[in-house]
């Protein structure tokens, strides 16, 4: 199931969608976030300075609520919903 959730999240992020998801942090607590990779939704000063290859085991996106980029392991992903 984790593979399916991770694939869904990656496809939605690649499409430029805002994705609401829940993941487990390293300290064991659960966190909900709305993330995107759509540059029109990300402040210019937070745009990536360079592009690097995505690691297949991690999900990366800009957390709209936090105002910064986050990255977490795909196994930590608990739920994915399109906002």
CB 72 within 8 Å of CB 58:
yes
pLDDT tens, per residue, the chain with 83 residues: 567 899 999 999 999 999 999 999 999 999 999 999 999 999 999 999 888 787 889 999 999 999 999 999 999 999 998 65
Contacts of 77 (CB under 8 A, 6+ apart): 2, 5, 6, 9, 21, 22, 23, 59
Specify the pLDDT at position 53: 81
Residue carrying the six token digits 């196994």: 75
**Architecture of the CATH domain 2-82:** Roll (2.30)
């Amino acid at each position: 199931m984790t593979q399916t959730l991770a694939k869904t999240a990656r496809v939605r992020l690649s499409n430029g969608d805002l994705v609401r998801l829940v993941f487990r942090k390293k300290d064991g607590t659960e966190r909900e976030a709305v993330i995107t990779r759509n540059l029109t939704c990300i402040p210019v000063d937070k745009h990536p300075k360079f592009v690097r290859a995505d690691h297949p085991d991690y999900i990366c996106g800009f957390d709209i609520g936090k105002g910064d980029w986050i990255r977490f392991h795909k196994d930590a992903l608990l739920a994915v919903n399109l906002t």
